[in-house]
Amino acid sequence: MKIIKSLELTVKHIGVLCIALLFFLMIVQVVLRYGFGYTHFLTEELGRYLLVWATLAGMAIETKRAGHIRVSFLVEQLPPGVVRIWQVLIDVVVLLLFLLLIYTGIDSTIFNYGQESAGLQIPLSIPFLCVPIFFLVSAIFLSEKIRQQIRGKL
């Protein structure tokens, strides 16, 4: 449990850092564009990467909190025992999807290692790393949730 809490805190810090850097970069971009008529390539490209990293970090945190969107009006009509089974089943299906995304994310990261980004001239595998990393974190969080559901703690 302590590892899960540490992982959650780390992901929160990464997400907050990405949002803060994105905010700073957008201010710099606006000042440069409207104040000096110049836009530096770094602000736009790095901003896109930071937005994706922050979004996937937020997705991982919401997986931990079970804060994602759910359609629950049909589930509310089921008996409590069936609801619990249904929720575990849905979480297992989502976990399988996460595992697929981890696999394809690793494959995509390896594939893009030899390519460089247009502006920053960094390997594209660096921005692509967020996919396997944050879906792995989400899978860990969801696995813990499923374990707790099966034990009857949720």
What is the C-alpha to C-alpha distance for residues 136 and 144, in angstroms, rounded to an integer?
Answer: 12
Whether pLDDT at 113 is above 80:
yes
Q: Is 0.75 surpassed by the pTM of this model?
A: yes
For the segment 1-29, the average pLDDT, to the nearest whole number, is 95
Instruction: Return d(Cα 117, Cα 109) in angstroms, integer.
Output: 13
Percent residues over pLDDT 70 in the chain: 99
- Taking alpha carbons only, the member of 23, 14, 16, 30 closest to residue 46 is 23
- Counting the structural domains of the chain, the total is 1
Contact (Cβ atoms closer than 8 angstroms) between residue 57 and residue 134: yes
pLDDT of 154 reads: 61
Average pLDDT, the chain: 92
Domain enclosing residue 77, as ranges: 2-151
Q: Does residue 46 carry a pLDDT above 80?
A: yes
Alpha helices, DSSP H, located in the chain: 2-30, 36, 41-65, 80-111, 125-128, 130-151
